[in-house]
Chains A and B, each alone.
Chain A
Amino acid sequence: DGGITQSPKYLFRKEGQNVTLSCEQNLNHDAMYWYRQDPGQGLRLIYYSQIVNDFQKGDIAEGYSVSREKKESFPLTVTSAQKNPTAFYLCASSRWDRDYEQYFGPGTRLTVT
């Protein structure tokens, strides 16, 4: 069964704590992405990675960090420096060539109080 998995579906944290969101794909895709979704804001790109051991900042990278040690995995850490971390976080993956199609995971809803 191929696809993108994100865990957990719901995550609750206290303010000031770092938290890591998991994203795994078995589609053999080169590129992976993290988006943040807030009501009325659409999808905003946090980070993306075209290849293992390399990643690029998106539009709203401040307060977040990522790593890409394996092709299948692209974890996102929401640090205590992120001012408003409560949001719906979406991971996606795609090929990085002319046959580009991007697919999303089911998302993780993070609530920080």
Chain B
Amino acid sequence: QQQVKQSPQSLIVQKGGISIINCAYENTAFDYFPWYQQFPGKGPALLIAIRPDVSEKKEGRFTISFNKSAKQFSLHIMDSQPGDSATYFCAASIRGNTPLVFGKGTRLSVIA
């Protein structure tokens, strides 16, 4: 019930293409869904987050799509660039009640 399942484990995308990473959860009480970006040897950085009262949130080239009925959410990176090459983690929690539960991560490589 507490798990967040993330796929794919790794992803290779051409420069300029769209990167899509998916996550699924079981606990319907989760009400906060962030995505983190991590470069090698660094701490994860909060990228974008969504709450279940909206179906989509966009910040620059990054978009979260949220499907409450399917209990799924995804990260779309438009016009992917080599500088986007990093590991991405999805997470979920009940705000003010539980710690974040993380997916296992997706290693994204954007090639020229």
Contacts and interface: CB of A to CB of B under 8 A. Distances in A.
B43 interface: yes
* Dominant secondary structure of chain B at its interface with chain A: loop
Given A101-B34, A101-B49, A103-B46, A45 B41 contact: no
Contacts, number: 48
Interface string B9-25: 00000000000000000
B44 A90 contact: yes
A64 interface: no
Interface residues of A, number: 25
Interface residues of B, number: 20
Contacts of B36: 104
Interface string B90-112: 00010110011011110000000
A105 B99 contact: no
B40 to A, nearest CB: 10
A100 B93 contact: yes
